[in-house]
A and B are shown apart, each in its own frame.
Chain A
Amino acid sequence: MDAITEKAFIKDDIGKPTTEESPSLLTIILDTNPTLWNQISNKFTLKSMIESLVIAINAHLALNNANQVAVIASHSDGARFFYPYKAKQQHSDQEQQERQDQPITQMENQQDSDGDNRSASPEIVAEKEKTKYVNHQMYRQFRLVDETFIESLFELFNGPIPNKPPQNSLSSSLTLALTYINKQQLLNSVLKARILVVNISPDEHLKYIPVMNSIFAAQKMKIPIDVCQIINDSTFLQQASDATNGVYLHIENLAGLIQYLTTTFFIDPSLRNILITPTSGNIDFRASCFLTGKVVDIGYVCSVCLCILSSIPKDNKCPACDSEFDNHVLMKLKKKPVVVKTKKKKRKLNDTPTPGVTPSPHV
């Protein structure tokens, strides 16, 4: 069983002589939950996180001219792309009437979103210089990515506050990341890909099945999921990185973040067998109960729908698939550990004079 699970990645890429560096796609999933970032704002701010990420993105782009980046925000109201930023195209369509500068913005946005970095005309570059966040003299390849990333981030935070209850959008971010990677790999078959999750949210409210589906899909596609976990430890992301041969790092010293990003999380997937990655060997493989959301280490699994329960349901029915459980088996499960043992002990203490219960040595 081991062969199909953990070792799926290990045999790869060793024997192949690599003549030319193949391009690599780095997909960053950034958790932008505003409440949680606010909670730790005395220690670490989202701004310094962005600064470090931008440096890491630029470094990744600098490694190979054909390298690509995608940034996905996992916000409290859902996931969205920061780069490539398609929503801007539509958004700007609405704004066209107000701004009256239709041709330029439209062209600019199309160029951006295509990810086609080399074909921008000089006018667009001139237009770009007006933007405020990134130094316009920056190397063009970097600037296009950084600008879109930061602009969309500001737009997200300056936009209206959603009235939906906050949720953990990790599942949708992972799904989006995988669909994007799949398409890019279809277009360019030599493209390597990896996902870096910068996560701050705790495990609760996580959509268990979709996240597990995504992990499994990533495992199948041999895409490592690296996890940069800040503040709260996450069980499921540990499992994600373990299943996909990624790196899981729970970072406490946030001042050195840039170093983590450019060293540990920078290792190319093909080199991971050679280098010793800092992933800790102790991994929590516990699952979450479908009913209560609690993390369990010994659970009851419905044989029909495989839903994990922390306790036997009272009505003897599976809460997910509504199938009635076999009473006989339930009795066994309920009875065994607690009741029988204590009774026996009591009997021994009370009943030692009566010979019928326990066979005494002289009988």
Chain B
Amino acid sequence: MDESEEEFSDKSLNSDQEDSGIANRTRRKTPSKSDLKGANGGYSWEDEYQRSWDIVKEDEAGSLAGIVSGLVESKKKRVIKNATPFQRGIIRNLILVIDLSTSMLEKDLRPTRHSLTITNAIQFITEFFDQNPISQLGIIVMRNSLAQLVSQVSGNPQEHIDALKSMRKLEPKGDPSLQNALEMARGLLIHVPSHCTREVLIVFGSLLSLDPGNIHKTINSLIEERIRVQIIGLSAQVSVCKKICKRTNFGDENSYKVILNEHHFKDLMMEAVIPLPVNKINKSFTLVKMGFPYRISENSPSFCSCHSKLTYGGYICPNCKSKVCSLPTICPCCNLMLILSTHLARSYHHLIPLKNFEEVPASTNYETQYCYGCQRDFPFNTVTSSRYSCTECKHHFCIDCDVFIHEVIHNCPGCENK
């Protein structure tokens, strides 16, 4: 993988992490591709250094209110992105691959790359199972040129989090091997039924991969198995990563991203929580038979069919009437998938996203004086209206309600009232 090592680009330089880890990077051969140029035509490292406090400037009246509302706005605008409904692969099977090579000891991310990656991964897992409750996940680490399975593929977030916590003590060592990790992930995903997605998410801190064989063969087999790979680079763009992502995602390069700073790292991880849209090639739609069990409570304990332990109460499979302890699960007796309808409900908003609200142009006379959601009066402001209206029901909302409606509840109260 020597040639890929040479061909890298450094997009992480324009942020505030120019202290460490730079020296060894800049020593290498500089890439000559034109796509590395920044917005103003120069290289990104030739850009003027942007300090976060320079953004805040007082207006003519010496007030910060306009800036503050602008910041709130920009935060919101980052949140609202795609409201177009996609067919998404909701039942996901994802292997999270974490780099544990010596490059993860770098301190360019605070406190170290390793520590921050673990922290972000724990958050990712919590959020992943929150939003994809009927999905499965497994964790692999790349350490000492080997791929190691640290957490089996399962739907229990707590097991994964415990495994990640124990990895905090595990010191990064040696070089990573993308091929080994991908081959192992392939092995774990090969049995997954066709209506589920097969995904690999790699957090890659190194600029090299020490592989036992030809990685391109591995990529071909990944394509054959319809496994989609996403990579988050922590240092610089690596050619082979780009190739892997592009080829396994049907020519789409967006699944390979290099972080700009700590915050961006977290954002990229959280982006991976949202299920991927279904591709034309990838699609296989099926009906899955599922049972919605009812819960019982008992005065005397009875055996559960999942652990063969005496328990008080549990969920009764509607198909075979056996008792299981927790949901979602697959009934050990009749193999029926048992879930709660609330689990399904968590994924609905990915499929049926709420339309974005439009900003109401400032005027002197509005239809309403208060926010439809929280019943509070709008602030009197001539510059901006601070109102956002639903395109369907035309009700006006304040920014707090707008954000809450789109991020948490995914229902428009006005449209519900129609």
- Comparing B68-76, B108-116, B151-159, B172-180, the segment that makes contact with chain A is B151-159
Interface residues of B in 163-202 (CB under 8 A from A): 194-196
Instruction: Name the B residues within 8 Å of A303 (CB-CB).
Output: 89-91, 195-196, 285-288
Instruction: Name the A residues within 8 Å of B155 (CB-CB).
Output: 1
Are B411 and A210 closer than 8 Å at their CB atoms?
yes
Residue B332 CB within 8 A of the other chain: no
- Choose among B129, B286, B376, B416 the residue that contacts A183 (Cβ–Cβ < 8 A): B376
For A235-250 the 0/1 string (1 means CB < 8 A from B) is 0000100110000000
Residue A301 CB within 8 A of the other chain: yes
Residue A3 CB within 8 A of the other chain: yes
- Choose among A78, A212, A213, A282 the residue that contacts B297 (Cβ–Cβ < 8 A): A282
- Comparing A36-44, A145-153, A316-324, the segment that makes contact with chain B is A316-324
Residue A217 CB within 8 A of the other chain: yes
Residue B293 CB within 8 A of the other chain: yes
Are A1 and B90 closer than 8 Å at their CB atoms?
no
Interface residues of B in 243-294 (CB under 8 A from A): 278, 283-294
Are B413 and A172 closer than 8 Å at their CB atoms?
yes
Interface residues of A in 168-211 (CB under 8 A from B): 169, 171-172, 175-176, 178-180, 182-184, 186, 207, 209-210
Are A179 and B341 closer than 8 Å at their CB atoms?
no
Are A300 and B376 closer than 8 Å at their CB atoms?
no
Instruction: Name the B residues within 8 Å of A161 (CB-CB).
Output: none
Instruction: Name the A residues within 8 Å of B417 (CB-CB).
Output: 78-79, 169, 172
Instruction: Name the A residues within 8 Å of B355 (CB-CB).
Output: none
Are B408 and A89 closer than 8 Å at their CB atoms?
no
Instruction: Name the A residues within 8 Å of B409 (CB-CB).
Output: 175, 178-179, 213-214, 217
For B112-140 the 0/1 string (1 means CB < 8 A from A) is 00000000000000100110010000000
Interface residues of A in 310-340 (CB under 8 A from B): 312, 318, 321, 323-326, 329-330, 333
Are A212 and B294 closer than 8 Å at their CB atoms?
no
Instruction: Name the A residues within 8 Å of B129 (CB-CB).
Output: 1, 4
Give A215 to B409 CA distance when docked, in angstroms: 9
Are A318 and B292 closer than 8 Å at their CB atoms?
no
Are A213 and B344 closer than 8 Å at their CB atoms?
no
> How many inter-chain residue pairs (CB < 8 Å) link A and B?
228
Bin chain B's interface residue count. 35 or more
Are B289 and A333 closer than 8 Å at their CB atoms?
yes
Residue A57 CB within 8 A of the other chain: no
Give A113 to B319 CA distance when docked, in angstroms: 53
Are B290 and A212 closer than 8 Å at their CB atoms?
no
Residue B343 CB within 8 A of the other chain: yes
Tell me how far the C-beta of B407 lies from the nearest C-beta in chain A, rounded to whole angstroms. 9
- Comparing B14-22, B213-221, B345-353, the segment that makes contact with chain A is B345-353
Are A180 and B373 closer than 8 Å at their CB atoms?
yes
For B303-331 the 0/1 string (1 means CB < 8 A from A) is 00000000001010011000001111100
Interface residues of B in 399-418 (CB under 8 A from A): 400-401, 404-405, 408-413, 416-418
Are A5 and B340 closer than 8 Å at their CB atoms?
yes
Residue A284 CB within 8 A of the other chain: yes
Nearest B residue to A84 by beta-carbon distance? B375
Are B375 and A330 closer than 8 Å at their CB atoms?
no
Residue B296 CB within 8 A of the other chain: yes
- Comparing A257-265, A291-299, A345-353, the segment that makes contact with chain B is A291-299
Q: Give the total of A residues in contact with B, Cβ under 8 Å.
A: 71
Residue A154 CB within 8 A of the other chain: no
Known contacts A5-B327, A213-B409, A287-B341: A300-B290 contact under CB 8 Å: yes
- Choose among B292, B313, B348, B376 the residue that contacts A212 (Cβ–Cβ < 8 A): B348
Instruction: Name the A residues within 8 Å of B289 (CB-CB).
Output: 298-301, 333
Residue B369 CB within 8 A of the other chain: yes
Are A1 and B329 closer than 8 Å at their CB atoms?
yes
Nearest B residue to A77 by beta-carbon distance? B417
Known contacts A183-B400, A306-B90: A298-B291 contact under CB 8 Å: yes
Residue A305 CB within 8 A of the other chain: yes
Are B349 and A213 closer than 8 Å at their CB atoms?
yes
Are B287 and A302 closer than 8 Å at their CB atoms?
yes
Interface residues of A in 1-45 (CB under 8 A from B): 1-5
Residue B391 CB within 8 A of the other chain: no
Q: What are 24 residue pairs bridging A and B, where the CB atoms are less than 8 Å apart in the complex?
A: A1-B326, A3-B157, A79-B417, A89-B370, A90-B369, A169-B417, A175-B416, A176-B373, A176-B413, A178-B409, A179-B374, A213-B410, A214-B409, A242-B295, A281-B297, A296-B292, A299-B292, A301-B287, A304-B283, A318-B285, A326-B285, A329-B287, A330-B287, A333-B289
Closest 6 CB pairs of A and B: A281-B297, A212-B345, A183-B374, A179-B373, A172-B416, A287-B341
Known: A213-B409, A304-B88. 5 other contacts (CB 8 A): A285-B294, A304-B283, A321-B87, A323-B285, A324-B285
